């Protein structure tokens, strides 16, 4: 089949105005190149410069969303594409909006019995709360995260009330809701989901205190091990829970589910990413390679799911 004819003119949406703009630009460039190598008539579109509402009138027949963070991963772009009747990759409006909100995603997972660490949601009015009590309630050491940011933006560790107050104030610069989560000491894993199936698990190792923005995008010290050096039973459990967690938020097409283990070695869900990083060195392409898929194969499969 001529892939150019089957998909028509494809807009690869990247950039945007979120805190993850630079990462998105790299993802979109890689996706565009991979699609072009497969014979797709793909064109990079920076949504900070081009109004998504004009895509259909510009002759585009499909959109590959490579936008990370607010505006692109939270349902806003998906809603516009729905309104103009342009097919797009990945999950729909509701699933993206829900998955972008880490706190509400955790509420849902808990409600259906999936494992996720204990947490509290704090707001600006809670800055002067007795934060020592919050720490004690969550085991004395916590991870602080803006509820609706990605790429570890605004995240920090806290082990005392002063650190927690500072971390909370920093996170509130990015979001009005801040997730304060029990610290997890165990290994970190990530599992990509593609068209209802889980790809091989990846173990993430970093010398940083946690897998922060620098560890993800700036340093060369982070290790990504695929296949993960784990038992067949743990691999199967990671894949099973990832598929269930993704489906629970209404996920479609592709995404990535992140885990850590606690001191007892039990898996705990961290979050689900509806538009994960897609450079050729990113985690979803790494897992796909382990499954025997080239980068071009992967992006074409993701694009094809937009037509299903």
Residue ranges at the known binding site: 258, 271, 273
Burial of 185 (0-12, 13-18, 19+ CB in 10 A): exposed
- Residues of each annotated binding site for Mg(2+): 258, 271, 273
**Among 67, 17, 15, 63, CA closest to 40:** 63
Q: In what order do the strands lie in the sheet with 41-46?
A: 41-46, 9-14, 62-65
Instruction: Kindly list the catalytic residues.
Output: 20, 151, 282
Q: Angle CA(121)–CA(185)–CA(123) in degrees, nearest 5?
A: 10
Q: Residue 113, Cβ neighbours under 10 Å: how many?
A: 7
């Amino acid at each position: 089949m001529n892939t150019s004819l089957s998909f028509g003119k494809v807009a690869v949406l990247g950039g945007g105005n979120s805190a993850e703009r630079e990462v998105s630009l790299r993802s979109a460039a890689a996706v565009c190149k991979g699609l072009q190598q497969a014979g797709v008539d793909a064109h990079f579109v920076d949504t900070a410069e081009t109004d998504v509402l004009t895509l259909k009138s510009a002759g585009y027949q499909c959109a590959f969303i490579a936008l990370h963070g607010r505006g692109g991963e939270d349902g806003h772009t998906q809603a516009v594409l729905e309104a103009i009747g342009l097919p797009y990759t990945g999950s729909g409006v509701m699933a993206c909006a829900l998955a972008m909100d880490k706190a509400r995603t955790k509420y849902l997972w808990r409600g259906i019995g999936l494992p996720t660490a204990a947490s509290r949601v704090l707001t600006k009015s809670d800055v002067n709360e007795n934060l020592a009590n919050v720490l004690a309630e969550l085991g004395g050491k916590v991870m602080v995260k803006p509820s609706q940011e990605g790429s570890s933006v605004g995240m920090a560790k806290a082990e005392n009330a002063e650190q927690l107050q500072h971390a909370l104030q920093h996170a509130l610069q990015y979001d009005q809701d801040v997730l304060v989560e029990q610290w997890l000491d165990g290994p970190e894993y990530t599992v990509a989901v593609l068209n209802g199936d889980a790809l091989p698990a990846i173990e993430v190792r970093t010398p940083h205190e946690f897998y922060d923005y620098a560890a993800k995008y700036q340093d060369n010290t982070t290790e990504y091990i695929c296949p993960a050096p784990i038992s067949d039973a743990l691999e199967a459990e990671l894949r099973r829970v990832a598929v269930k967690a993704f489906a629970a938020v209404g996920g479609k097409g592709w995404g990535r589910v992140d885990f850590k283990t606690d001191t007892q070695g039990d898996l705990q869900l961290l979050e689900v990413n509806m538009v994960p990083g897609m450079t050729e060195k990113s985690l979803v392409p790494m897992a796909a390679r382990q499954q025997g898929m080239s980068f071009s194969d992967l992006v074409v499969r993701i694009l094809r799911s937009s037509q299903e």
